[in-house]
Amino acid sequence: QSALTQPASVSGSPGQSITISCTGTSSDISDYKYVSWYQHHPGKAPKLMIYDVSNRPLGVSNRFSGSKSGNTASLSISGLQAEDEADYYCTSYTSSSPFVFGGGTKLTVL
């Protein structure tokens, strides 16, 4: 079982907005600013979408945003597009290890 909890799946129609949650504990998300999010199309290299909770790397669309409250981090995607359909993973720094991952969320664009 992964250390961080994500919903197994979320879906939305083109143009809509969705949010993916990532729930941890007091040993990870709530105590540190080091939450990151990755987009993974099967067979390709995962892509960094958000780092340090809410920062977007150069080249990532501003339709993607990140936030956290307490022990839950969130990835929001606005103006859903077909190309957003992918698996999404969160990670966090923890008191016992630099990185723990979430189990992943499959985003379906209807």
Partner 1 sequence: QVQLQESGPGLVKPSETLSLTCTVSGGSINSYYWSWIRQPPGKGPEWIGFIYYSGSTNYNPSLKSRVTISVDTSKNQFSLKLRSVTAADTAVYYCARSPTEVDPVPEYYFDYWGQGTLVTVSS
**With respect to partner 1, which residue has the nearer C-beta, 80 or 90?**
90
Q: How far is the CB of 14 from partner 1 (least distance, A)?
A: 27
CA atoms within a 13 Å half-sphere pointing along the CA-CB vector of 62: 0
**With respect to partner 1, which residue has the nearer C-beta, 13 or 43?**
43
DSSP designation for 57:
P
**With respect to partner 1, which residue has the nearer C-beta, 47 or 63?**
47
| Residue 3: strand pairing partners | none
Q: Residue 95 CA to chain centroid, in angstroms?
A: 20
Residues near partner 1, by CB under 8 A: 2, 6, 32, 34, 36, 38, 43-48, 51-52, 57, 89, 91, 93, 96-104
- Give the Cα separation of 18 and 25 in Å (integer): 23
